[in-house]
């Protein structure tokens, strides 16, 4: 790490798909910076704001009570323009005009690629904060927003269970996570879903309609009247949950209903865990900037603040928990057992 | 009203799409009946259970703490078989075998048609309890489940607003209510949606893509960066929210996202208002049965328990509040005003 | 009603204890006024702001997305100063300086008394909006904030039930409403509380420890292992829930636990019903002002907007629903019945 | 570890104060045992049930959809009787009568001491599952129920913030955790509380009224009109939050309000994290039993299942995160800074 330069003013932006807790991390960045008498300037709408010189000062009063709200008060965007070759130079000019000594980027892998792109021209400290519901970044046990998205998906699955159980129906619930099954796996376990279809598992051994039909029939044989809830990560089935429901209905001659959770998974009050994570990582990011770190992401691993090179965060792969997959696939997989239990009945 | 016969045993069933608060009304029926030393027998899976003689005794302990859960512990179903000509006679045989003196049917208009069908053969008291999220029954200000469905839709709209506002996006959120716009209107007002597309309004004057585009552009002109959330009742647009989002995106060149709430609107903990409504109507239904009422629905109008002939509940039409439509269409309809305000600036 | 004067600018303030939905009503006032090209000036901290000339302009952008938040963005206060004899004249001077043509006061009975006090000096239209969780105002079926407070109390009672049921315990839960039992009655019914102690009932026939002990023992006899949850309105027992728990524990030799809900009942996201009520009443208040109404409260009765003289709102009494009290006292009052039921067992 | 004996039947009980997620862990125990064709017998009301031979068989259908509910379907209790010298022998007799090969105890440190007591007589495998909201057990990063309790406390703090902010008030909110500040620290950070009083900190350097008054005055000086919310762990102030509020009000001449969260912290739907934790630990406990482990607690540390000797779980101390305390004490501790920031204003 280079000898840290004196930091007088930090720039901050939120970029890419918004995630619950982005505001909490922004608040922590501002309060921590102010604690060290560092000025904070936010660029609005992510990298677009940097290119458009769309900025605002951030003071304590701007962030005081925002940690309970989702979204981002400085707005986010996906910037196509910023991928162009001349974008970094234009952005650097804006940063220099505002006398920015370091930049904190709150977002996902696309945002961190942008930070690398910018770093090719602007060589002052850039530190990333992992703000994405997908949890698909190496270098932190959990990303900011992931826990809230799981809670929202679980809450929807609980609601679906109510009606599924009342009507003895099959439901296929599509959740976010086209490249990573974290939301799918965790929400399935939390809600006790009978089945899950995740990108990581589909890559290994894609499920067939036949296998699904057989499993549903097995469950019904063991349980009698009952509901069956399946979690499907988006993009893992041709035609999605709507098509899969049709295919199952054709075969089972039972009502099978699709449910697409969509963007509600990005909103809602952040959970306590996301607010705490966002606060800790936000403070840590300011500390990293002050220590002269550059092109790293602030994260928490095994409850300790760590820094990981930005490039590693998307190039290295964080896998799903094998233990959780194993539990989910066996525990909730009732099979008609033929062998009698080996013990005598208790005597009342 | 005929002289009431002594009621010794009541039958009860839940039928059609389940609604939050069905359990609370079942509980009230059981507790009120028990208070009058009346026996209660439930038929499971709605009219199917009646045909299949699928029954269970209901005691206080069965219903003690179920009012906080959605779904229905005695299960519901849509019964095709019960529409057949010989179904009522078969059902009557089961009812008589169990010495049922009166039947309480918890459900929507389809379930009440079934009650009429049954009444052609079985002439003992049949009383309906309005359990449907759609609120489309004449004879009660609100149906059981409606308030909870509105709360769930509003909650989803709030979450969508978080992300819409962060990204300055247009969202089309599809809610339940293909024949009645109650959920659409109330959730739109509760969440401050910029626009709503409801069956009642579409019948009068269908909206065009052009009109919607113009409205969105107007709102953006007045507000600058901003989100725009539209509530769409299901079945009111060819291709639904998904198609409408594409059409708007084509014209606006802005990200427009669809969101389909689907069956989550049937689940979730019932609101206090639904639990209270369900309890009051459940008790009222038992009182009606004891008073010898037949082929009526128990309801609450202007805070008073009332009874309405079952046939009226679906033949007569309960309209949307004109006042609420009016508010929703003008209040949240920003127009660039050209006329200056007529008063001088306050002097600080 | 006098011939309405042209209204160019409205003042607005929130006063007394805050209530969920105050922001939603403020939003409706601002948007409705703007729709009619009327200017809006808010005075901050209730009548204190009026005396201190603490004001701010209210534009659409200030209120756009506040309807989902509790509290009040223009702050509230209880003003002792405003009760003094010379306060109205001082306030009138501030109102006139700002060229205010009418004032909308959002609050409870204390705030409306203040409006009467002010009206003795300042004779332009003053219209009240009922914003209080207590629901103790005549002239509207429900006050803004009441439904949310009931929901919050019910939610707490549900949580208490979880642990009470796990441990077979007696709980006494103290809720707000020292003069009116609306929150107590509704939350007790919504949560299925075994007992309630409300101001209206205590005035008629105060409960004794002996009567409570006997009821608890009866319930336990009938139900066996079970929880018992009692709702106590504040100020209705010497020493409150804490003392009552001790008294019951002394007699029952069972763990009895007090729980004081306190100010959490004032917060939380407003329910859909409160947001809709607040929006409708807010718009109605602006309409009343434009029609020249003075010293009236805007309310909703039997789903219709109405106006009631401010003095009536606290001088006349809105009673609890006798029907609901009756249900709550009989339905959830299990007694060991000696008489056998008169019907034979169903034959399976 | 001894060579594992063949396990044919497991006993299970929940003991001590109930915690959200106990049902989820019970479900996982039953489903995992059934997967291995092991019988499960539950003893009701904790160790009391063991002494009273109050038992029930547990099948898949008993636990299928209980993971979303707090409390414990097999009931819990604090057993004084089980501390007596002859209790283990009596319990062992019951266990042997039912041919129980291993016992799983879900509870906190008191329950684990009971397990040790029992182990002095009954030498078959006993495995603990950490079910307590207090998080004060060594051997697992989090106990089951802790995350939900923090969420509930945070939710209450958010609600308090709404009204505190509307009225510019000081609130002292008392949370559970008389021996450990985990709930206090985490809820304070999650809700952005201005101050916290925790057992661990009070032991080091007890706060005085003077210090608190000074801090409140400092915050008000920097922020102007504002709320101030303090989190107080129970038993950390003579007279609790009620007395502290009086003391502060005497000195500040401002309304200071106490709020006691109490037992609502034990209830509510378990968070996704608690359900997942409970499921993983429940499965792990069955695996430990099958592997012949005895007198250990199943836990998760750094995302890995681990086993810790029961005695260590209460004898060794799990400390609060110094990093979190540090953040909470500096970040939310505004001080009037005299030194100007060193950088020039950005040029717009």
For chain B, what are the domain ranges?
A: 9-145+270-315, 146-266
Cβ–Cβ < 8 Å for D128, D296: yes
How many helices (H) and strands (E) are present in chain A, helices listed first? 13, 11
DSSP E strands: which ranges in C192-255? 195-197, 228-233
DSSP-assigned letters across all residues of D30-83: HHHHHHTT-EEEEETTTHHHHHHT-EEE--HHHHTT-TT--S-TT-----SGGG
* pLDDT-derived band at B335, boundaries 50, 70, 90: low
At D156-180, the pLDDT tens digits run: 999 999 999 999 999 999 999 999 9
Q: Which residues of A touch B258 (CB under 8 A)?
A: 262
Q: Interface of chain D against chain C, CB under 8 Å?
A: 14, 17-18, 20, 22, 45, 69-72, 75-77, 152, 156, 158-168, 171, 225, 257-260, 262-264, 266-268
Among chain A residues, the shortest Cα distance to D152 is held by A272
Rounded CA-CA distance A65/A31 in Å is 12
The answer to whether the Cβ–Cβ distance between C159 and D257 falls below 8 Å is no
User: In b/e form, how buried is each residue of C173-197, taking b as 16+ CB within 10 angstroms?
Assistant: bbbbbeebbbbbbbbbbbbbbbbbb
Single pTM value for the model: 0.95
* pLDDT-derived band at B303, boundaries 50, 70, 90: very high
Q: Which residues of A touch D147 (CB under 8 A)?
A: 272-273
At C195-209, the pLDDT tens digits run: 999 999 999 999 999
Rounded CA-CA distance A59/A89 in Å is 28
Residues 6+ apart with CB under 8 A from A326: none
How close is the nearest chain C Cα to the Cα of B237, in Å? Answer: 26
How close is the nearest chain A Cα to the Cα of D328, in Å? Answer: 9
* pLDDT-derived band at C332, boundaries 50, 70, 90: low
Among chain C residues, the shortest Cα distance to B223 is held by C61
Say what the ipTM of the complex is.
0.94
Pick the CATH number of B9-145+270-315 from 1.10.10.10, 3.40.50.450, 3.40.50.720, 2.40.30.200: 3.40.50.450
- Give the pLDDT of residue D71: 95
Rounded CA-CA distance C259/C171 in Å is 7
Rounded CA-CA distance A278/A284 in Å is 10
Rounded CA-CA distance D19/D17 in Å is 7
> What is chain C's percent helix, strand, coil content, to nearest 5?
45, 15, 40
C contact test, residue of B160, B272, B285, B323 with most C CBs within 10 A? B272
The answer to whether the Cβ–Cβ distance between A60 and D222 falls below 8 Å is yes
Please determine whether the domains at D9-145+270-315 and D147-266 fall in the same fold group of CATH: yes
- Give the pLDDT of residue C341: 39
- The Cα angle at residue D49 between residues D44 and D53, in degrees rounded to 5: 115
> What letter would DSSP give residue B236?
S
Q: Which residues of A touch D52 (CB under 8 A)?
A: none
Q: Which residues of C touch D17 (CB under 8 A)?
A: 163, 167
- The Cα angle at residue D13 between residues D11 and D15, in degrees rounded to 5: 155
Q: What is the side-by-side strand order in the sheet with D296-301?
A: D55-57, D39-43, D9-14, D102-107, D126-130, D296-301, D304-309
Percent of chain C with pLDDT over 90: 89
Which chains pack against B, by 3+ Cβ pairs within 8 A? A, C
Cβ–Cβ < 8 Å for D11, D104: yes
Among the partner-chain residues A20, A162, A262, the one whose CB lies closest to the CB of B71 is A162
* pLDDT-derived band at B39, boundaries 50, 70, 90: very high
3-state secondary structure of D299: strand
How close is the nearest chain A Cα to the Cα of D253, in Å? Answer: 24
pLDDT block averages, 10 residues each, chain A of length 348: 78 97 98 96 98 97 93 96 96 98 97 97 97 97 98 97 95 95 98 96 94 93 89 96 96 94 94 98 98 97 97 95 94 53 40
The residues pairing with B105 across neighbouring beta strands, listed in sequence order, are B13, B128
The answer to whether the Cβ–Cβ distance between C190 and B65 falls below 8 Å is no
Cβ–Cβ < 8 Å for A232, A240: yes
Q: What is the mean pLDDT of residues B262-274?
A: 96
User: In b/e form, how buried is each residue of D257-283, taking b as 16+ CB within 10 angstroms?
Assistant: bbbbbbbbbbbbbbbbbbbbbbbbbbb
The answer to whether the Cβ–Cβ distance between D259 and C257 falls below 8 Å is no
3-state secondary structure of C32: helix
Q: Interface of chain C against chain D, CB under 8 Å?
A: 14, 17-18, 20, 22, 45, 69-72, 75-77, 152, 156, 158-163, 165-168, 171, 225, 257-260, 262-264, 266-268
A contact test, residue of B13, B44, B46, B162 with most A CBs within 10 A? B162
The answer to whether the Cβ–Cβ distance between A98 and D35 falls below 8 Å is no
The answer to whether the Cβ–Cβ distance between D166 and C264 falls below 8 Å is no
Among chain C residues, the shortest Cα distance to D166 is held by C75
- The Cα angle at residue B150 between residues B147 and B155, in degrees rounded to 5: 125
Block residue for tokens 């509105």: B150
- Give the pLDDT of residue D346: 42
Cβ–Cβ < 8 Å for A62, A30: yes
Dig out the tokens for A58 from the structure.
């951030």
Cβ contacts below 8 Å, chain A against chain D, sum to 163
Rounded CA-CA distance C261/C273 in Å is 22
The answer to whether the Cβ–Cβ distance between A331 and D41 falls below 8 Å is no
Pick the CATH number of B146-266 from 2.30.30.40, 1.10.340.30, 3.40.50.1370, 3.40.50.460: 3.40.50.460
Q: Which residues of D touch C22 (CB under 8 A)?
A: 166
Q: What is the CATH number of domain A147-266?
A: 3.40.50.460
The fourth-level CATH superfamily of domain C148-266 is: Phosphofructokinase domain (3.40.50.460)
The residues pairing with B55 across neighbouring beta strands, listed in sequence order, are B43
- Give the pLDDT of residue D337: 44
Cβ–Cβ < 8 Å for D301, D141: yes
Among chain B residues, the shortest Cα distance to C305 is held by B323
> In this structure, what are the phi and psi dihedrals at residue D43, rounded to the nearest 5 degrees?
-105, 130
Strand B304-309 relative to strand B296-301: parallel, antiparallel, unpaired? antiparallel
Rounded CA-CA distance C166/B45 in Å is 30
- Closest Cα partner for D148 from A273, A275, C154? A273
Sign of CA dihedral C269, C274, C280, C285: negative
Distance, C-alpha A161 to centroid of its chain: 24
For residue C82, is pLDDT > 50? yes
Sign of CA dihedral C168, C170, C176, C180: positive
Among chain A residues, the shortest Cα distance to B263 is held by A160
Among the partner-chain residues C77, C165, C225, the one whose CB lies closest to the CB of D71 is C165
Dig out the tokens for A87 from the structure.
């974008």
Q: Which residues of B touch A267 (CB under 8 A)?
A: 158-163
At D9-35, the pLDDT tens digits run: 999 999 999 999 999 999 999 999 999
Distance, C-alpha D67 to centroid of its chain: 17
- Closest Cα partner for A25 from A184, A148, A179, A185? A148
Q: What is the mean pLDDT of residues D106-133?
A: 97
Among chain B residues, the shortest Cα distance to C287 is held by B327
User: In b/e form, how buried is each residue of B199-218, taking b as 16+ CB within 10 angstroms?
Assistant: bbbbeeeebeeeebeebbee
């Amino acid at each position: 790490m280079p000898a840290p330069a004196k930091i007088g003013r930090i720039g901050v932006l939120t970029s890419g798909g918004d995630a619950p807790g982005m505001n909490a991390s922004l608040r922590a960045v501002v309060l921590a910076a102010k604690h060290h008498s560092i000025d904070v300037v936010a660029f609005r709408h992510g990298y677009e704001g940097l290119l458009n010189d769309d900025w605002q000062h951030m003071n304590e009063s701007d962030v005081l009570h925002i940690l309970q709200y989702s979204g981002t008060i400085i707005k986010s965007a996906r910037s196509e323009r910023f991928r162009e070759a001349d974008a970094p130079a234009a952005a650097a000019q804006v940063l220099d005009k505002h006398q920015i000594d370091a930049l904190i980027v709150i977002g996902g892998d696309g945002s961190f690629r942008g930070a690398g792109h910018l770093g090719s021209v602007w060589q002052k400290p850039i530190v990333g904060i992992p703000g994405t519901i997908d949890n698909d970044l190496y270098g932190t046990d959990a990303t900011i927003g992931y826990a809230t998205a799981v809670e929202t998906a679980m809450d929807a699955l609980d609601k679906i269970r109510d009606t599924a159980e009342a009507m003895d129906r099959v439901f296929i619930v599509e959740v976010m996570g086209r490249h990573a099954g974290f939301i799918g796996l965790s929400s399935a376990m939390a809600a006790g879903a009978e089945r899950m279809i995740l990108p990581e598992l589909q890559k290994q051994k894609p499920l067939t309609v036949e296998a699904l039909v057989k499993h549903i029939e097995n469950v019904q044989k063991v349980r009698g009247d009952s509901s069956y809830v399946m979690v499907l990560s988006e993009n893992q089935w041709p035609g999605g949950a709507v098509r899969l429901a049709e295919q199952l209905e054709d075969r089972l001659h039972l009502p099978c209903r699709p449910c697409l959770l969509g963007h509600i998974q990005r909103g809602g009050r952040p959970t306590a865990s996301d607010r705490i994570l966002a606060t800790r990582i936000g403070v840590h990011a300011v500390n990293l900037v002050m220590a002269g770190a550059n092109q790293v992401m602030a994260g928490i691993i095994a409850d300790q603040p760590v820094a990981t090179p930005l490039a590693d965060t998307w190039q290295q792969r964080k896998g799903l928990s094998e233990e959780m997959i194993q539990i989910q696939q066996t525990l909730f997989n009732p099979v008609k057992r033929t062998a009698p239990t080996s013990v005598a009945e208790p005597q009342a």
